[in-house]
Amino acid sequence: MELNPDEMQVVVKRLRRAQGQIGGVLKMIEDGRECQDIVTQLAAVSKALDRAGFAVIALGLRQCISDPESHEMDVSSMEKLFLSLA
């Protein structure tokens, strides 16, 4: 299923934020920052990526529900996608 590019802008924003966080983590490592600080930032990046993935799935589900004739929903595939983020 192809998702609406306009609606995907929310996901793009999340991913750009995560990209910035990853850059920050790399700089922290290069600067020799404390382990706890680095791990805290890695956890934030991980959560941001998870949220982006869940947003993609939510958009797909919303599209399938709002226009079922043009978007045949494969429940098994959607379930696998959702569980791959768990």
Is the pLDDT at 19 greater than 70? The verdict is yes
d(CA 39, CA 25): 9
Mean pLDDT of the chain, nearest integer = 87
Q: What is the DSSP letter of 71?
A: S
**What pLDDT does residue 71 have?**
59
| pLDDT per position as a tens digit, 31-69 | 999 999 999 999 999 999 999 999 988 888 887 777 767
Residue ranges of domains in the chain, CATH in brackets: 9-84 (1.20.58.1000)
**What pLDDT does residue 37 have?**
96
Name residue, tokens 């934020």. 17
d(CA 40, CA 81): 27
pLDDT band at 25 (very low <50, low <70, confident <90, very high): very high
Phi-psi map region of 67: left, alpha, beta (phi>0 left; psi -120 to 50 alpha): beta
**What pLDDT does residue 61 have?**
81
CA within 13 Å, CB half, 83? 6
Is the pLDDT at 1 greater than 80? The verdict is no
